[in-house]
Structure 1
Amino acid sequence: MIAGVGPALVDHIYSIDSYPQRGGQAIVRNSVKEAGGAAANVIYGLASFGLPCRFYSTIGTDSDADFFISSLKKVGVDVRAAVTHPETGRVDIYVDSEGERTFFVHPNAAGSAAVSIPNGDYDEVEYFYLDPFPAANSFEIHLEIARKATERGKTVILNPGHPYSAMGFERLSELLQYTDIVILSLPEFEMLGGNAEKFLEFVDVLVVTMSEKGCKAYSDEKSVHCPAFRVKVVDTTGAGDAFSAGFLYGYVKGYSLEKCLKAGNFVAAYSIQHYGARTFPPVRDVDRVLSE
């Protein structure tokens, strides 16, 4: 089983032609409401591919909480969420005609990240995927979970995102010592010094996504580059999460880094041709890419 530990968020996605100047206005062409949160998106994708999944988070008591939970349960995810605030976390996302997006986050329950995983649960989960909460105690919570998981021989996957990358490499290394796989974007990698060798002093695999330039994976044995699929971009929201789902699906199935990168790029390319962060291809298509 693979478990995600991250914020429960509901995305409100608004399509506009272009971003206005400060103080100006833009016309909203259409809008979509979708359950989100990076870790939740990854777990949703993995569950839709048929893997047993669980999700730990914090949530509200509002209708968005029901909306979020039902979105994961419909693909078979075991949701374990603590109520920490009346309102569930919300993100307003504005997407322009070129697919570029801007986020406005309302932390709400996601800002009160009181996640506690019972000791017995660590015996049931083989992989832990960690994604930052918009909360002051997020790093400490993930540090404790990663430490306990490592002590039990589990695989810890970290998506540091901007929040943890902005802390700097020295602070992040406190968490990296309990991490097996890191997946991050090129800007985040560069923010942390851009030195793969430093990462590999702590982790087994480092994966850097590079948008239209594809992605690259580093391990002690080798480094591998995989080019991106060329597609028409509609919405880049959740592209990184889609990549992670494709990559990890291949990894859990035991494929090579080259195959895992290709699967990640394929799932990301499929996602960005649609609006929203939870558009995933049929698993048979991902299996086909992995087998090619």
Structure 2
Amino acid sequence: MGNPLLDISAVVDDDFLVRYDVKVNNAIIAEDKHLPMYEEIIKKYNVEYIAGGATQNSIKVAQWMLQIPGATSYMGCIGKDKFGEEMKKSIKAAGVNVHYLEDESVATGTCAVCVVGGERSLIANLAAANCYKSDHLKQQENWALVEKAKFFYIAGFFLTVSPDSIQLVAEHAAANNKIFMMNLSAAFICEFFRDPQEKALAYADYIFGNETEARTFSKVHGWETDNVEEIAIKLSQWPKASGTYKRITVITQGPDPVIVAEDGKVKKFPVILLPKEKLVDTNGAGDAFVGGFISQLVKGKPLEDCVKAGCYASNVVIQRSGCTFPEKPDFH
């Protein structure tokens, strides 16, 4: 479950970022001052529309890596409009089984993906994505998906929308010995949604994040360390609501090794390095990593294979515009 957003992706210039007070490589929710940027980006730049939103990206990539039709399902809220139709077309073509809540009163959420020098900045205008209600999740045909699933992944962004939906799924997973996974997602989630985040993370068997989010989490919780390895260990030892599985923390660091913490120890895995001239944009790199990782986890593969698949998927995605990929994966 997550916030389905139609990515409006374009290569922009530094001046555009400065004018709208946007930092490079950041992810934020649009404020009033950002709203004119959506019109401007469409008018001034060469834009691409891609079905996005962090969780939807990850599930698309997992589905692509698995190559088993309908192996994955996704829920979130969209509007009944042309962007909503674009989204449905795009995600169904990807083979994901979608059960959207469709809201007639609000526009489909969009995300401005501003690319400068290969680095992306995300400004999300949640709109309909903000209107998801747990009543939709509780409907028989939707809850049936939850009962059928063995693995759950929800990005931290959904904490701003429907923490009660997250809690329902988390508690179901704990009660039925299923795997529940979450992502720290963004520094602002760690800072401003601390209570719902703590509540949900207590159920997480896997926590994903990047080095910036990990350091923000550490600062918010007064851990007084910037050392990503130490933070990963502390996160893996965070109190847990269900004792079936030990928690594993997976922190990506861009071109630096992936850090995996379990049992109080850290393992590091190198990423696939990419020459700068092959980098198209980093949008969706972290989401793709999670999708690749999950695709092997659900097959019962060892942790090392899961990380390799994550690195493979993100390497593919950063060589293309947006979170997109070729027809078939070439992962062995």
Same fold? TM cut 0.5: yes
1:69-90 Cα distance to aligned partner (Å, 9 max, x none): 1211112211111123431100
Paired residue secondary structure (2:177) = coil
- Structure 1 residues 84-233: aligned runs within 5 Å: 84=103, 85-96=105-116, 98-115=117-134, 116-118=136-138, 119-133=143-157, 136-162=160-186, 163-167=188-192, 172-193=197-218, 194=228, 195-201=231-237, 202=240, 204-220=247-263, 222-231=265-274, 232-233=278-279
Task: String of CA shifts for 1:196-230, please: whole Å, max 9, x gaps.
Answer: 33322335210001001031111117422111212
Once residues 157 and 21 of structure 1 are traced to their aligned partners in structure 2, the CA distance between those partners, rounded to angstroms, is 33
Match of 1:234 in 2: 280
**Unaligned 5+ runs, structure 2:** 21-39, 219-227, 241-245
Residues 1:30 and 2:46 are matched in the alignment: yes
* Corresponding residue SS for 2:197: helix
Q: Within 2, Cα distance between the matches of 1:28 and 1:258?
A: 44
Q: 1:230 is matched by which residue type in structure 2?
A: L
For 1:43, the aligned partner's letter is I
TM-score between both structures, scaled by the size of structure 2: 0.77
Contact 2:157 2:185 in 1 (8 A): no
Q: Judge conservation of contact 1:59–1:83 (CA < 8 Å) in 2.
A: yes
- Length-normalised TM-score, structure 1: 0.87
| Structure 2 residue aligned with 1:80 | 99
Q: Distance in 2 between matches of 1:23 and 1:35?
A: 26
**Residue pair 2:157, 2:189 contacting (<8 A) in 1 also:** no
In the TM superposition, residue 117 of structure 1 has moved relative to its aligned partner by 2.3
Contact residue 214 and residue 265 of structure 1 kept, 8 A: no
Cα displacement (A) at 1:55: 0.5
CA distance in 1, matches of 2:302, 2:326: 22
Residue 135 of structure 1 and its aligned partner are, at CA, apart by: 7.2
Query: Are the equivalent residues in 2 in contact too, given 1:14–1:28 (CA < 8 A)?
Result: no
Which residue, out of 223, 246, 250, partners 2:292? 246
Distance 1:272 1:19 in 2: 24
The one-letter code of the counterpart of 1:46 is A
Deviation, 1:281, is 7.2
For the aligned residues, what is the CA RMSD? 2.5
**Structure 2 contact 159–193 (Cα < 8 Å) conserved:** no
Paired AA for residue 92 in structure 1: A
Please report how far the alpha carbon of residue 42 of structure 1 lies from its aligned counterpart in structure 2 after TM superposition.
Answer: 1.0
Higher helix share: 2
Note the C-alpha offset of 1:191. 0.9
Q: What is the CA distance between 1:271 and its match in structure 2? A: 0.8
Deviation at 1:16, TM superposition (A): 2.5
Partner Cα distance (1:22, 1:38) in 2: 25
SS at match of 2:137: coil
The size of the alignment, in residue pairs, is: 281
Distance 1:281 1:225 in 2: 30
Change (3 A) 1:205 1:106: same
